[in-house]
């Protein structure tokens, strides 16, 4: 007999996947699973909220309650800080490493580093913070290394971002390197195949949805991207066996930065099992 699990339970099960990669007295490096919001979104942003979804912040406050008052001050309207300890973004759809400050001094320091990274017009400050992602994209991406330099802005009337050539828009820079090409044989015709490319991606600026928008703009959207990808999977549509991927194939693999003391630290998050399974399925 099939038992239907309510959506609330699915989100609480997701909290069990969170784990600490590194911690000291100043900050945590935590693994965030895909499809989990980092922090609560104000209900006023939605017309018809169904239920309050658990977030990474819920998990953090349960296990590290001392961070409750770490972060930016409450809003002018008196609403509490919804992002205690959180110093940078990681999309709901993306898995991987995220940093959390444990005290106000380190929050201010890390927030400053990330603000330099995010507002850098040409990636000039990006040497202070180095982010690395893994992405699986549709098609045979060539050349094997490249740089995408295209400004990004919010698309009017939607939550999507788009490439924009206006002079006033902030520059966005993404470097990439192809690690491997995968040929997926058609289940209908063994003489036909579809190519997927596994990339290591190095964003040099920190715009919202930057990697997703940039890769889609050059004709290689990320596998599993319901927002910027094709309406119908190219692989499934051409007779390929479905990947059965319930998430975006984008993973924040590592984050490197300088500590207050001046030492360099690199935090790494292993590729989650659901993405390893996909790579095993399409292995050449």
* Rounded Cα–Cα distance for residues 227 and 41 (Å): 19
In a domain, 115, yes or no: yes
Compute the distance between CA of residue 153 and CA of residue 165 in angstroms, rounded to an integer: 9
Confirm whether 95 is domain-assigned.
Answer: yes
Q: What is the pLDDT of residue 165?
A: 64
- Provide the 8-state DSSP code for 67: G
Question: Looking at the domain assignment, is residue 272 inside a domain?
Answer: yes
What is the per-residue pLDDT for 238?
Answer: 46
pLDDT at 40: 82
Per-residue model confidence as pLDDT tens digits over 13-57: 567 889 999 999 999 999 999 999 998 876 544 444 444 678 999
Number of domains in the chain: 1
Q: Report d(CA 204, CA 72) in Å as an integer.
A: 25
What pLDDT is recorded for position 182?
94
Active site residue 72: no
Residue 1 lies in a domain: no
Indicate whether 275 belongs to any domain.
yes
Cβ atoms 36, 11 nearer than 8 A: yes
Q: What is the pLDDT of residue 180?
A: 96
Q: What pLDDT is recorded for position 162?
A: 66
Residue 187 corresponds to which tokens in the numbers above? 């289940």
Predicted confidence at residue 283, as pLDDT, reads 75
Question: Does 188 fall in a domain?
Answer: yes
- Determine the pLDDT at residue 188: 45
The whole-number pLDDT of residue 189 equals 47
Give the domain extent around 263. Answer: 7-281
Which tokens hold the place of 216? 């889609």
As beta bridge partners, residue 217 has none
Q: What is the structure's pLDDT at 27? A: 97
Mapped onto helix, strand or coil, the DSSP state of residue 145 is: strand
**Where do the H-state alpha helices sit in the chain?**
7-15, 56-63, 104-119, 210-217, 234-237, 273-281
Q: CA 243 → CA 237, 239, 277, 282, distances in Å?
A: 12, 12, 9, 8
Q: At 224, which CATH number?
A: 3.30.2350.10
CB 197 within 8 A of CB 135: no
> Alpha helices of 70-148 — where are they, by DSSP H?
104-119
Q: Is residue 245 part of a domain?
A: yes
List 16, 24, 72, 91, catalytic entry: 91
- Quote the Cα angle for 228-33-67, to 5°: 115
Instruction: Report how far residue 257's alpha carbon sits from residue 110's, in angstroms, rounded to the nearest whole number.
Output: 9
Give alpha helix (H) positions in 92-160.
104-119
- Burial level of 84, CB count in 10 A (0-12/13-18/19+)? buried
pLDDT score of 42? 60
pLDDT confidence of residue 60: 96
Which stretches of the chain drop beneath a pLDDT of 50?
1-6, 10, 44-51, 76-77, 123, 125-126, 187-189, 236-241
Residue 39 is assigned to a structural domain of this protein: yes
Q: At which residue do the structure tokens 């942003």 appear? A: 45
């Amino acid at each position: 007999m099939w038992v239907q699990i309510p959506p609330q339970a699915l989100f609480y099960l997701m909290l069990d996947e969170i784990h600490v990669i590194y911690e000291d007295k100043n900050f945590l490096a935590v693994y965030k699973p895909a499809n989990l919001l980092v922090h609560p979104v104000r209900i006023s942003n939605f017309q018809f909220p169904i239920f309050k979804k658990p977030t990474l912040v819920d998990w953090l406050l349960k296990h590290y309650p001392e961070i409750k008052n770490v972060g930016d001050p409450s809003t002018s309207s008196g609403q509490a800080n919804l992002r205690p300890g959180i110093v940078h973004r990681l999309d709901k759809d993306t898995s991987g490493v995220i940093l959390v400050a444990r005290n106000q001094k380190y929050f201010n320091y890390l927030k400053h580093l990330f603000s330099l990274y995010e507002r850098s017009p040409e990636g000039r400050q990006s040497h202070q913070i180095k982010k690395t992602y893994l992405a699986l994209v549709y098609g045979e991406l060539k050349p094997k290394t490249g740089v995408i330099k295209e400004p990004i802005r919010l698309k009017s009337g939607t939550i999507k971002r788009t490439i924009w050539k206006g002079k006033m828009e902030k520059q966005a820079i993404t470097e990439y390197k192809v690690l491997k090409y995968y040929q997926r044989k058609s289940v209908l015709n063994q003489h036909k195949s579809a190519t997927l490319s596994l990339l290591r991606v190095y964003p040099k600026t920190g715009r919202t949805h930057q990697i997703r928008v940039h890769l889609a703009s050059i004709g290689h959207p990320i596998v599993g991207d319901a927002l910027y990808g094709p309406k119908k999977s190219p692989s499934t549509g051409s007779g390929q066996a479905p990947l059965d991927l319930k998430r975006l194939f984008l993973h924040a693999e590592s984050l490197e930065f300088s500590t207050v003391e001046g030492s360099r630290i690199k935090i790494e998050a292993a590729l989650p099992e659901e993405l390893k399974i996909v790579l095993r399925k399409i292995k050449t």
